[in-house]
Amino acid sequence: MIPTRAFLLPLLAGLAAAPQVVRAGSISTAGYAGGPDSNAAKPNPAAIHYNPAAIAATEGVQVLVDGQFSFIRIDIEATRNEGIDPNTGEPYGIAQARVMVPNAVAGVTWKAIPDRLALGFAVTDALVGGGDYTAGEPDDEAPYESHQRYAGVISKIMTIHLTPAVGVTVIPGLHVGGAFKYILDSVTAIQASDPLGSEGLGPDGAYSADTILEIHASGGHVGWSAGVFFDRFEKFQIGASYIDNGTFTTEGDGSVDAPDMVGGGNPEAVVSFEGPLAPMVEAWARSQVTDTLEIGAGIEAQLWGTCCGAADGDFVIGITSTDGDPIGADPEDGILVQVADTQYSPRRLENMVNVYGSAGWQASDRLWLGLKGGYHPHAVPDYAVSATNLDFTSVGAQLGFRVRIAGDFEAGVAYSKYFLFDREITNSAWDVRDPDDPDYVDDRFSPKNPYKASANGLYSGLVDTVGVRLQAKF
């Protein structure tokens, strides 16, 4: 048997999402849940998501459905091996990810006891992420021929939050609230690996040793939130909340597809995928300046350094054959290398604070216009950037309008444009080869032969988001 080597599985190291900002591969997108006027100090059903205390200020029955769809384009120009593919001797092509990320919230609130108690329930997909570096055609081998194949060809992570909430009016103008979240988790991933470390040396040509790992896993976990909302004065309302997102937890199955030179087997696998998610703090203030004009501002602290700044915050991936042994440990697996049964996906994230501002104008009895802007610093330090642990500093805005159709039923649309600042990485820890190098950070992730991670390079991206909102009061 060939000496044991581990398949590195850096799936989605940067799974992250603010409650109103979706992230894909840790890329901020302007998928503001609930539209430009939803926040921790706005009493509508989206408050279940932002600050459950604010639902205590709602009246009657309110229903809100809002869907945002972010179209993300990522280009990575590698400097790995000085930009030359050792398999072909040619410059690497630009690795590209094209992802559509949904960000939706559907919620209902009911003022169960006038002036005292409100109940609510919402469904959201606040934490989503991933990347798709395929070329768009099922039989196109481009993903496996680019430098990106060893850092993950496809990774798709989704969470669905089922959130019952309660808001209580303590005294007129002062409300508190809490919510319980059951979060459905799922992950799908495809990764190519070169287990022999034979880049360009295979007798059957370039990439002939590439072995494909595919996993599908699902599960669930719990989280919670609590907040306070003060609306004693019309000219000044403020809300704040703490959101605990728990630990992403999944189990499922997978397979390893090995070419002939690595044994030609296709063993089935049992997989698990687990990692903590960042707690968050929301704070928002707003003012009804006139009967028709409202303005607001807020911050959102994502405490990634608290959960995921060191090794204990990395995703832990378990992968074994169906009999519980490491894949490749038994001859019947048909693979000549042994796959490590415990692997890690690096994160090494930092705390970050997003800043927002908003304005809303009731232009007429039927027409409302809204604007919401934000600035997002990145959460991934330069040394830890890779194609699957990627984040950008970004700035942008969302513009939306709603039209009252009949009675208290409204429909609206929104468009967001966010500008991602390019990142040029030259000293990523994931690309360090020599443990004596002064930039060496962690032996667990710094690639050695076979070199599976491409991290250094120029990273750029674009994000456009469109949204639709329906709301009604009864």
pLDDT at 15: 37
Whether 95 is in a domain gets the answer yes
Could you tell me which residue, 334 or 249, shows the higher pLDDT? 249
Whether 9 is in a domain gets the answer no
Task: Give the separation between CA 424 and CA 117, rounded to whole angstroms.
Answer: 52
pLDDT at 314: 84
pLDDT at 77: 86
Residue 157 has pLDDT above 90, yes or no: no
pLDDT digits (tens, 9 = 90+) for 203-223: 666 677 788 888 899 999 999
Any residues with CB less than 8 A from the CB of 294 and at least 6 apart, and which? Answer: 37, 286, 287, 288, 359, 360, 361
Average the pLDDT over 355-380 and give the result.
93
Whether 231 is in a domain gets the answer yes
Q: What is the mean pLDDT of the chain?
A: 83
Whether 31 is in a domain gets the answer yes
Distance of CA 176 to the CA centre of its chain: 29
Average the pLDDT over 439-468 and give the result.
71
Q: How confident is the model at residue 381 (pLDDT cuts 50, 70, 90)?
A: confident
Task: Give the separation between CA 306 and CA 276, rounded to whole angstroms.
Answer: 10
Average the pLDDT over 261-283 and give the result.
90
Lowest mean pLDDT among 128-142, 302-316, 359-373, 439-453: 439-453
Q: How confident is the model at residue 260 (pLDDT cuts 50, 70, 90)?
A: confident
**By C-alpha distance, which of 352, 385, 378 is closest to 278?**
352
Q: Where are the beta strands (DSSP E) in 79-210?
A: 95-113, 117-124, 128-132, 154-171, 174-193
Phi and psi angles of residue 32, each rounded to the nearest 5 degrees, phi first:
-65, 110
Contact at 8 Å (CB) between 195 and 207?
Answer: no
Whether 352 is in a domain gets the answer yes
Q: Which domain holds residue 59?
A: 23-473
Whether 78 is in a domain gets the answer yes
DSSP state of 379: S
Q: Give whole-number Cα distances, 300 to 20, 239, 317, 378, in Å.
A: 9, 12, 30, 13
Task: Give the separation between CA 451 and CA 8, rounded to whole angstroms.
Answer: 10
Whether 181 is in a domain gets the answer yes
Average the pLDDT over 149-167 and give the result.
86
Task: Give the separation between CA 381 and CA 26, rounded to whole angstroms.
Answer: 12
pLDDT digits (tens, 9 = 90+) for 283-318: 999 999 999 999 999 999 989 889 888 888 888 889
Number of domains in the chain: 1
User: Which amino acid does the sequence have at 449?
Assistant: N
pLDDT at 386: 80
Whether 3 is in a domain gets the answer no
Average the pLDDT over 275-281 and give the result.
90
413, with CB counted inside 10 A (0-12, 13-18, 19+), is middle
Question: Residue 295: which CATH number?
Answer: 2.40.160.60
Q: How confident is the model at residue 6 (pLDDT cuts 50, 70, 90)?
A: very low
Q: How much is the pTM?
A: 0.89
Task: Give the separation between CA 154 and CA 438, rounded to whole angstroms.
Answer: 32
